[in-house]
């Protein structure tokens, strides 16, 4: 199995994969990313990375978008997998497992302490796949998020108070 890191000229392909994943997750209406934004954050600011998995003809059939997080308890970085997607016609051929194995290899090569991700509760096929890899759900944790107007209001409070 072959992999390659995304390059700037892959931005349209990355966006296509993101939209396909969002459609699968019934969240396509939530995708506001565009090519310019992805190019800025992935290649100018370098805040995340993308790898592709290639089929026998060298065509990209899946992708993983990931970035480093940090565990204070471990005292080292981890790899956080934001998106993993394999096109439906290529599922069941080991490409998803290959992407996870490659991410594990990258994490160990970089000295990271863990590889983690979220999965939608209804996504039973993915849950079964992740469990087959030995992944364990973190049942003791709840994800919290602040976005949009709430994020703007909190940021404005910080600006008004002069907080650093």
Residues tagged active-site: 130
SS3 of residue 118 by DSSP: coil
State the maximum Cα–Cα separation within the chain, in Å, rounded to a whole number: 58
| SS3 label, residue 5 | strand
C-alpha distances in Å from residue 103, one per residue of 12, 41, 79, 85: 22, 20, 8, 13
For residue 68, the tally of other CB atoms under 10 A from its CB is 15
Angular region, 58: left φ>0, alpha ψ -120 to 50, beta rest: left
């Amino acid at each position: 199995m072959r992999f390659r890191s995304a390059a700037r000229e892959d931005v349209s392909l990355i966006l296509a994969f993101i939209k396909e994943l969002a459609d699968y997750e019934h969240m396509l209406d939530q995708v506001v990313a565009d090519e310019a934004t992805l190019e800025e954050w992935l290649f100018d600011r370098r805040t995340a990375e993308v790898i592709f998995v290639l089929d026998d003809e060298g065509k990209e059939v899946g992708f993983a978008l990931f970035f480093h997080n940090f565990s204070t308890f471990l005292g080292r970085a981890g790899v956080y997998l934001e998106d993993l997607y394999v096109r439906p016609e290529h599922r069941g051929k080991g490409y998803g497992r290959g992407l996870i194995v490659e991410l594990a290899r990258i994490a160990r090569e970089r000295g990271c302490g863990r590889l983690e991700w979220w999965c939608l509760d209804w996504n039973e096929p993915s849950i079964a796949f992740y469990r087959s890899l030995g992944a364990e759900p973190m049942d003791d944790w709840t994800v919290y998020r602040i976005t949009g107007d709430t994020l703007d209001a909190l940021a404005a409070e910080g600006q008004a108070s002069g907080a650093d």
